Amino acid sequence: MNLLHKQEDQYPRSEPLVDYVLKFQAIPAEYVSSKKQVPAHLIEARTKEYMGLIRELQALNLRVTSRIEPDDKGSVLIFVSAPDKLLAGIREKERVHDFLSGVVAVRELNQPPRSFTFGALKTFDNEVISPADRIRYVNYLLTNQPGLSRSTQPRMVNGAGLKKNDPRFPHLVDMMPLHHQGFNAAWIRSWSNLSWRSVWMGIGDREIDRLRFHFGAQVALYFAFLNMYFTSLAPAAVLGLLFWLRGELFSPMYSAVLTLWACMFVEVWRMREKKFAVRWGMTGVKNVSEPRPEFRPHEVVDDPITHDKVEVFEWWRRELRMILSLPFVLLFVALLATAITLNFLTEIILGEIYEGPGKQVVTLVPTILFSICIPTIQAAWQTTASFLTRFENHSTVSSFNSSLTLKMFGLQCLVPFAGVVLTAYIYIPFGERLMSALFERGYLTRLFQFVSRQPNFQMPAKLDFQVKPARLSDQLFALCVTSQLINTFTETLVPVILRAVSRWKERLMDRESKVALDKKQRRVSFTHDQAERKFLSQVQAEFLLPTYDLFVDYAEMATQFGGIVLWSTIWPLAPVMGYVNNWFEIRSDAFKIVTNMRRPVPKRAETIGTWLEVLAFLARVAVLTNATLVYLFQARPKTGDWFPEVQTTLRTELHPASNAKMPCVPSSQISSVMPSFLPRSGTSAALVASLIVAMVCELMYQVICQVVKHVLTRLLWRDSLEERALRRMQHEIRVSLLDRLEQSHDSSRALQTEPLQSTNPIYPDRHFWDQSQDEGMSYFAGANKAD
């Protein structure tokens, strides 16, 4: 593959073109700020390690140079850049590797507009190596470990296998790619422009392509998903606003349309990401997932297809380890559920029943307990989940991340949703009965005596407690509004404030250090021009930033999606709040990446992976929650024959103005058709009846989803531009292979055929095939002859 030319950078940059930076701790921290002399043997060992690292980088044919970290903090910054020929060679090897692995790149759709081929390499065959590809190749060279293949295809290229605190180079403390400040500034400036189109339609595909070109497909796919989710929320927001203005809460019509919308959104995005994969040349990249360095194979075998040595870990061993991890999962689920339930109960008792001394302070106890217990359990689970996922011994990074994502989000989503579940299915149906039982047994008296520190504290003779149905909408407001504002503030503004405070402290410390230590006392002094000093300071500042993690952003959107589809029948304004929040979320996430995070290492991706299945699961569970909520709490002016009295009671609590208790004839109640082993009267009967209704609705939902998927596949995918391009590319590959095979046969040998009438002894049945023995024409000729 020959290089044609390098595109000029659209966004001017004063800093040098650096692909990667490595930080090496040359002098121990305890010697940096002191006057103690560094031992000679330590300097010799560090020098030997440093030179070994440099030789390792140069062996990869990378350009390498180094600078001392500003302010002489004992670190050496090693700058790495890949020559154009090296990148072109890796691209050629990647194309061969992709072809063998089943990756289909439709080049006619994978060409970026000329306006943003900045910093790219373009080849004679019109191949473009984008800035994201450049960093991805360099990262592959640095981190990929030499060794055996873990798939049926050989490795693309061997790398150095470097990582932080590598056993070979223990003082390699960090490594990262650098931000392109010109692109970042232009990106934020472009997305900050306000227009009616941006309000209603979000960002265009051109901007998504620009992100893919610079940050890689994985990050671009997240913003494509977020943008589509934002635009798709518009009809749901309009629907919710209309029902809220009409005062129709727990509406069956709203719930039915909302669950249908959720199904359509999931399936439309499934088609949408497939189109992005075709346009970006990512179809099939799941077959070439990044190998996981920590993978430990059970054995090395010969692949029956390629006959290469392959590292394997049998599927049943991994599945068995997953089964062994289930007790730990159930333990933490039970622990977290217990903590949330006890905190919920404490909040009800102290907030709605307790009237003793210090009430304003006592009501803060549940909040304090929640802020201590829940994060502690989540932190412990995060450590445990990481250990369990490592124990499963996944061979690729993608499978490891998928398993860890399910474990982490599965427990994380309990925290925001558990409160609504407890309120809807425990507090409102059983709240008064539960509090009466605690009161009659004296538990409330003993609890209040302990809280008030008054042994003689006495409860009133009769407990005056009534459930507050408004608690449902209050909790949903906190989930859809308050928590979103807090997340935006903590992700976007808090890091900026903390960095400003940190810089202020550093300036104060620098002034003090300059007084105590002049330049003559410094071990080494280097002179850099102003532009280089600014560049080195920027590199130092980026090393202080955390690594960008897509899990946090996807989890936030999945939680919001769940809050809307699961519970918004309680408060139909939830989609409106989500729509408004997501307009800011798109821009705040962009600001977060360029300001508060390191530059993400570009990765290829053809799907959002596990998160798509999470969304589909939430949409399916939404059928159950909406059906039960509507059945239990829907406002109806009259109570029909199919609604038991207890259900009317629950509705009356939420809608006292429009409902009245109306006894039902027992023979006409829905409970009369229940099996005998199920409760047939009381609150429990209403809950069981709602569950039966929900199960019936869920079965109907599955059928509807299959119909929706069938229709959308034909509307959005069949005969689309991307589908035709994919089929055309696959056809061209087959034709090309066939042409090569025919040329190979023609050039290798000319096939000589021998007449079948030959007397060659290798044809023992030659007499049978002799044309003189053919009887067909003779039969027709003799048919007209008379006997």
Q: Are strands 128-129 and 121-123 parallel, antiparallel or unpaired?
A: antiparallel
Q: Is residue 150 part of a domain?
A: yes
Q: What is the pLDDT of residue 751?
A: 46
Q: Environment class of residue 379 by beta-carbon count within 10 Å: exposed (0-12), middle (13-18) or buried (19+)?
A: exposed
Q: Is residue 148 part of a domain?
A: yes
Average pLDDT over residues 755-771: 61
pLDDT bucket at 155, cuts 50 / 70 / 90: low
Phi-psi label, residue 601: left if phi above 0, alpha if psi -120 to 50, beta otherwise: beta
Neighbours of 189 (CB within 10 A): 9
- The residue among 128 and 77 whose pLDDT is bigger is 77
Least confident of 298-312, 653-667, 706-720: 653-667
Least confident of 78-92, 99-113, 464-478, 603-617: 99-113
Q: Can you list the positions of beta strands (E) in 563-711?
A: none
Q: Is residue 154 part of a domain?
A: yes
The SS3 of residue 309 is strand
In this predicted structure, the answer to whether residue 512 has a pLDDT above a threshold of 90 is no
9-43 b/e with 16+ CB inside 10 Å = b? bebeeebebbbbbbbbbbbeeebbeeeeebeeeee
What whole-number distance in Å separates Cα of residue 168 and Cα of residue 365? 51
Q: Are 190 and 204 a contacting pair, CB within 8 Å? A: no
Neighbours of 157 (CB within 10 A): 17
- Cβ-Cβ contacts under 8 Å for 49 (sequence gap 6 or more): 169, 170, 171
In one-letter notation, the amino acid at residue 764 is P
Average pLDDT over residues 151-157: 54
Q: Are 403 and 394 a contacting pair, CB within 8 Å? A: yes
Q: Is residue 587 part of a domain?
A: no
Total domains in the chain come to 2
Neighbours of 492 (CB within 10 A): 18
Average pLDDT over residues 130-152: 80
Q: Is residue 155 part of a domain?
A: yes
Q: What is the pLDDT of residue 133?
A: 93
In this predicted structure, the answer to whether residue 533 has a pLDDT above a threshold of 60 is yes
Q: Are 646 and 681 a contacting pair, CB within 8 Å? A: yes
Average pLDDT over residues 78-84: 93
Q: In what order do the strands lie in the sheet with 20-25?
A: 63-68, 75-81, 20-25, 172-176
pLDDT bucket at 113, cuts 50 / 70 / 90: low
What whole-number distance in Å separates Cα of residue 326 and Cα of residue 146? 35
Cα 515 to chain centroid, rounded: 50
Q: Which two tokens stand for residue 718?
A: 């069949």
Q: Are 244 and 573 a contacting pair, CB within 8 Å? A: yes
pLDDT bucket at 520, cuts 50 / 70 / 90: very low
Q: What is the pLDDT of residue 679?
A: 63
Which residues constitute the domain of residue 20?
3-187
Residue written as token pair 């024409």: 777
Least confident of 32-46, 220-234, 410-424: 32-46
Q: Which two tokens stand for residue 202?
A: 């979000």
In this predicted structure, the answer to whether residue 354 has a pLDDT above a threshold of 70 is yes
Q: Can you list the positions of beta strands (E) in 501-641?
A: none
In one-letter notation, the amino acid at residue 209 is D
Among residues 366, 364, 342, 362, the alpha carbon closest in space to that of 354 is found at: 362
Residue written as token pair 């470097």: 162
Q: Of the residues 155, 170, 187, which one is the last residue of a structural domain?
A: 187
Q: Environment class of residue 593 by beta-carbon count within 10 Å: exposed (0-12), middle (13-18) or buried (19+)?
A: buried
Average pLDDT over residues 557-583: 95
Tens-place pLDDT, residues 362-382: 888 888 889 899 999 999 999
Q: Of the residues 155, 187, 219, which one is the last residue of a structural domain?
A: 187
In this predicted structure, the answer to whether residue 522 has a pLDDT above a threshold of 60 is no
Tell me the pTM.
Answer: 0.87
Name the DSSP class of 291: B
Average pLDDT over the chain reads 82
Among residues 600, 103, 279, the alpha carbon closest in space to that of 271 is found at: 279
Q: Are 571 and 473 a contacting pair, CB within 8 Å? A: yes
Q: Which two tokens stand for residue 94?
A: 């990647």
In one-letter notation, the amino acid at residue 463 is L
Alpha carbon separation from 117 to 128, 293, 484 (Å, rounded): 8, 33, 36
Rounded percentage of the chain residues whose pLDDT exceeds 90: 42
pLDDT bucket at 414, cuts 50 / 70 / 90: very high
Average pLDDT over residues 194-214: 83
- The residue among 529 and 42 whose pLDDT is bigger is 42
Among residues 128, 45, 52, 42, the alpha carbon closest in space to that of 84 is found at: 128
The most confident of 199-203, 270-274, 669-673, by mean pLDDT: 270-274
In this predicted structure, the answer to whether residue 1 has a pLDDT above a threshold of 60 is no
Q: Is residue 310 part of a domain?
A: no
In this predicted structure, the answer to whether residue 338 has a pLDDT above a threshold of 60 is yes
In this predicted structure, the answer to whether residue 168 has a pLDDT above a threshold of 60 is yes
Average pLDDT over residues 100-129: 68
Q: Is residue 662 part of a domain?
A: yes
Q: Which two tokens stand for residue 295?
A: 């993978």
- The residue among 411 and 73 whose pLDDT is bigger is 411
Q: Is residue 415 part of a domain?
A: no
Q: Which two tokens stand for residue 107?
A: 């080049």
Average pLDDT over residues 134-153: 76
Average pLDDT over residues 428-444: 86
